[in-house]
Amino acid sequence: MARAIIMVLDSFGIGAAPDAQAFGDEGSNTFGHILAAASAGAADGEGLRTGPLDLPNLERLGLFAAAGLGNSAKRPEAIWGSAREISHGKDTPSGHWEIAGVPVLFDWGYFPQTVPAFPAQLIQQICDDTQIPGILGDRHASGTQIIAELGEESISSGKPIFYTSSDSVLQIAAHETHFGLERLYGLCAAARKHVDPLNIGRVIARPFLGETAQDFTRTANRRDYSVPPPGQTLLDRAVAAGRNVHAIGKIADIFAHRGITRTLKGDGNMALFDRMLEAVREANDGDLVFANFVDFDMIYGHRRDVAGYAAALEAFDARLSELDGEMKPGDLAIVTADHGCDPTFRGTDHTREIVPVLAYGPGIEPKPIGRRESFADIGASVATHLGLATGEYGRSFL
């Protein structure tokens, strides 16, 4: 039993999913394309990194073998394989909930690629409810681009920026001090109620700081208002059995704070890794530590920043030995992802990909597990490991 640790490298896909075509994502491969770019010297960043991708720990655990890029002759030291997603969407909640045994087998609501993107009645309801003087944006956009474009007008007019993407999201950007952080959170909580009938997965508060288009930066005070998962997750079952569930980073928001006993936040992947180690140090036997590393997706994948993504992978890899130092006999750690976000692909959205499944720990016997038919196999395996009941979806690979 001991403990279980799930590490979601947000957006770290390892190849187009069998149904990628239905998403317009044929040929996407987050890992494969970063690897190839780095080998070709096309992932060099001044003062950041140079040359081929250097991931000794992930390679040792079987990442390359799992991705079918077997440039390592050595047998992996982990249970290695991949998993496809059965949820209808390629968004963060769908990916995480499916990992936790609850795939999303209904269609989310989405906002159309038109301007305006939001129904006039919805905006009217939100304005009436929250006393904002109107909105800016009202279209599909990249979050950093739209604050550069409309941030100054937002400050002077007091109107927050509403935008969306190919995910089921309503994102609201506003200035942390001019508009006010708590006021932004209140606005998002109110908007959450109004988008419920439209089946929208998340409302996301996107606070930023700075005074001009040149220096606006988004802060770590992002907050996601998610609908709760549509069934009992691994986390719910753990808490019901009296276990602690330590949620690192975005995990608590993604699960709408259900099935969680402790939330640890951090600004950036390295701070999140610190918080995860802290949780592992303190976790009791039978506990679950569930961590999301958001930078891969938010800062590098969506921004199509290949060098940045490569550097972030190397920085993450370099810290895995610290986790080894905290693991006790009987512990199980799993490295995986929730979808892809290929930084070499067209557009700025997620890509429908298979994800790595690398499971290891002192006493865990390495073996290949092939391509699993659902991310839910991860949650089922963790449930088996922790002696919890398994849910309706997923088959343990342990």
Contact 394, 376 (CB under 8 A): yes
Q: Which residues on neighbouring strands pair with residue 208, listed in sequence order?
A: 175, 218
Give min distance, CB of 87 to Mn ion, in A. 12
φ and ψ at 155, to 5 degrees? -65, -45
Contact 205, 160 (CB under 8 A): no
- 140 in a labelled binding site: no
Cα gap 390→381, rounded to integer Å: 8
Residue 171 near ligand R1P by CB under 6 A: yes
Residue among 49 and 250 whose Cβ is closer to Mn ion: 250
- 342 in a labelled binding site: no
- Tracing tokens 């006993």 back to the chain, one arrives at 261
Stretch that binds ligand R1P, among 112-120, 167-175, 227-235, 368-376 (CB under 6 A): 167-175
Stretch that binds ligand R1P, among 76-84, 164-172, 273-281, 372-380 (CB under 6 A): 164-172
Cα gap 315→272, rounded to integer Å: 12
Residue among 63 and 172 whose Cβ is closer to ligand R1P: 172
Contact 5, 280 (CB under 8 A): yes
Residue among 72 and 142 whose Cβ is closer to ligand R1P: 142
Residue 381 near ligand R1P by CB under 6 A: no
DSSP β-ladder status, 223-226 and 262-264: unpaired
What are 348's two structure tokens? 């700025």
Residue among 79 and 335 whose Cβ is closer to Mn ion: 335
Closest alpha carbon to 14 in 43, 36, 41: 36
Among 165, 226, 233, 244, binds ligand R1P (CB under 6 A): 165
φ and ψ at 90, to 5 degrees? -115, 35
Cα gap 252→2, rounded to integer Å: 22
Residue among 87 and 244 whose Cβ is closer to ligand R1P: 87
> Which option in Mn ion, ligand R1P, none does residue 338 bind, with CB closer than 5 to 8 A by kind?
Mn ion
- 224 in a labelled binding site: no
Q: What angle do CA 175, 181, 183 make, to 5 degrees?
A: 105
Residue 143 near ligand R1P by CB under 6 A: yes
Residue 142 near ligand R1P by CB under 6 A: yes
Using CB under 6 A as the binding rule, the residues of this chain from 285 to 344 that contact ligand R1P are 298, 302
Using CB under 5 A as the binding rule, the residues of this chain from 284 to 303 that contact Mn ion are 297
Residue 34 near ligand R1P by CB under 6 A: no
Residue 253 near Mn ion by CB under 5 A: no
| Sign of the dihedral defined by the CA atoms of residues 373, 379, 384, 385, in that order | positive
Q: What are the CA-CA distances from residue 202 to residues 8, 9, 91, 179 (Å)?
A: 19, 20, 10, 21
Residue 201 near ligand R1P by CB under 6 A: no
| Sign of the dihedral defined by the CA atoms of residues 253, 259, 263, 269, in that order | negative
> Which option in Mn ion, ligand R1P, none does residue 154 bind, with CB closer than 5 to 8 A by kind?
none
Among 92, 94, 154, 233, binds ligand R1P (CB under 6 A): 92
Burial (0-12, 13-18, 19+ Cβ within 10 Å), 393: buried
Contact 135, 117 (CB under 8 A): no
> Which option in ligand R1P, Mn ion, none does residue 98 bind, with CB closer than 5 to 8 A by kind?
none
| Sign of the dihedral defined by the CA atoms of residues 31, 293, 367, 384, in that order | negative
Residue among 82 and 165 whose Cβ is closer to ligand R1P: 165
Residue 78 near ligand R1P by CB under 6 A: no
DSSP reduced 3-state for 160: coil
Contact 382, 370 (CB under 8 A): no
Give min distance, CB of 357 to Mn ion, in A. 16
- 339 in a labelled binding site: yes
Cα gap 184→170, rounded to integer Å: 13
Residue 10 near Mn ion by CB under 5 A: yes
> Which option in ligand R1P, Mn ion, none does residue 10 bind, with CB closer than 5 to 8 A by kind?
Mn ion
Among 28, 29, 82, 92, binds Mn ion (CB under 5 A): 92
- 338 in a labelled binding site: yes
Binding site members:
10, 297, 302, 338-339, 350
The site for Mn ion (CB under 5 A) is made up of 10, 92, 297, 338
Binding site members for Mn(2+):
10, 297, 302, 338-339, 350
The site for ligand R1P (CB under 6 A) is made up of 92, 142-143, 165, 167, 169, 171, 204, 298, 302
